[in-house]
Amino acid sequence: MVTWGKRNEELILPINSSLSVTLHQDQLKTTTTVASSRSFQEDRIWLNGKEEDITHPRIQSCLREIRRLARKRRNEVDPSLDSTGLSHKVHICSVNNFPTAAGLASSAAGFACLVYTLARVFGVEGELSGIARQGSGSACRSMYGGFVQWIMGQRDDGKDSLAQQVEPESHWPELRILVLVVSHAERKPVGSTSGMQTSVQTSCLLKHRATSVVPGRMGEMIDAIRRKDFASFAELTMRDSNQFHATCLDTFPPIFYLNSVSQQIISLVHRYNRHCGETRVSYTFDAGPNAVIFSLQQHVPEFLQLVQHVFPPETNGGQFIRGLPVKSTSLPEELKQAIGLEPISKGIRYVISTKAGPGPCVVEDPAQHLLGSDGLPEKTV
């Protein structure tokens, strides 16, 4: 269930609650190393091998809030202690193993990982989703594994706008998630932050969605997840995604995140479900043309064969299906006929096959740490 629109830009307070599934880190992950030292002159950050501007207001919010909590904790334990190196500057190094700023929720993974890692370094424990939220709204949900809701809250200071786990990642083991990375999805034309600002200012459909549609659907969605009722979960997911993109079209000037490949994927899903006589597959699209498909394990092989029939993989495009292995199967001729979609070449670049996963965790192996003993990025980053 999508978050779109804020009631407070600085604190990142949304106009509706939302819900997401945290994807498994074996397939999609951010890795972040934070080092703190008396010898560092200033806070610094490297992202995907390149030094970025640490004065970015959202990074500053996260650093400030973690340091504030660390100070509070020190004052409660022993004000004379500075065991957590509170006055020290930090060096932060982070890499995403998937495209950044391409509508694959890199800001969610990135800020959740950053806040979790900073909290470990500064010895801060407890509820941290309120801090991750101030990095990027969607990041608060990624502080937990499995099925997570972001309760919008009512307070002006945002203290009740927090994430809460609905069910852990082990709850629905048969659920599979396929990320269909479409071919022309590089950096998106309108970022989520500015896109939702324009929508709040201009779309009356967005207002209706936030006040009259999402509150009821959140309850239904949580109920469907708890009962592992795939058909209900799938329909709510598709309806919510469609309504979000309808609010984008209702924004003035309109915002288009879906492209013709996204539309073909939508058709394919509906035609397949209709042919099967039951809902076996669903889609949702974030602020970009890539599709996130939900299905149950037993239906994935056939659906992916169908995807490859409609979107024949490029011969030199590398491995088409990545991530969790998928059994191969043959596609009945009758199914191809019934779907009736002409193959479109170069539509989908690759598919990441994954499932629900845990929230942030510590990388124990020092060989995987991203900063060297000199506090600078390792050459391999």
Q: Which residues bind ligand ATP (CB under 6 A)?
A: 30, 47, 94, 96, 100-108, 110-111, 114, 138, 191-192, 286-287
Closest distance to ligand DP6 from the beta carbon of 304 (Å): 24
* 179 binds, options ligand DP6, ligand ATP, none, Cβ within 5 to 8 A by partner type: none
Closest distance to ligand DP6 from the beta carbon of 238 (Å): 15
Taking the least distance from each CB to ligand ATP, the nearer of 306 and 348 is 348
Helix (H) or strand (E) holding 52, with range, is strand 50-52
Closest distance to ligand ATP from the beta carbon of 113 (Å): 6
Taking the least distance from each CB to ligand DP6, the nearer of 2 and 281 is 2
- 172-199 in b/e burial notation, b at 16+ Cβ within 10 A? beebbbbbbbbbebeebebebeebbebb
* 3 binds, options ligand ATP, ligand DP6, none, Cβ within 5 to 8 A by partner type: ligand DP6
Contact between 323 and 27 (Cβ < 8 Å): yes
Taking the least distance from each CB to ligand DP6, the nearer of 9 and 374 is 9
Peptide bond into 79 cis (omega under 30): no
* 110 binds, options ligand DP6, ligand ATP, none, Cβ within 5 to 8 A by partner type: ligand ATP
Closest distance to ligand ATP from the beta carbon of 315 (Å): 28
Chain positions contacting ligand DP6, by CB under 6 A? 2-3, 12, 18, 105, 107, 136-138, 192-193, 286-287
Taking the least distance from each CB to ligand ATP, the nearer of 105 and 221 is 105
Q: How far apart are CA 375 and CA 90, in angstroms?
A: 9
Closest distance to ligand DP6 from the beta carbon of 136 (Å): 3
Peptide bond into 253 cis (omega under 30): yes
Nearest to 199 by CA among 251, 156, 153, 155: 251
Residue 219 CB neighbour total at 10 angstroms: 11
Instruction: Return the residue nearest ligand ATP (CB atom).
Output: 110
* 12 binds, options ligand DP6, ligand ATP, none, Cβ within 5 to 8 A by partner type: ligand DP6
Taking the least distance from each CB to ligand ATP, the nearer of 188 and 209 is 188
Give me the amino acid identity at 173: P
Q: How far apart are CA 336 and CA 328, in angstroms?
A: 16
Contact between 323 and 181 (Cβ < 8 Å): no
Contact between 221 and 233 (Cβ < 8 Å): yes
Give me the amino acid identity at 70: A
Instruction: Return the residue nearest ligand DP6 (CB atom).
Output: 137
Residue 256 token pair: 């288009």
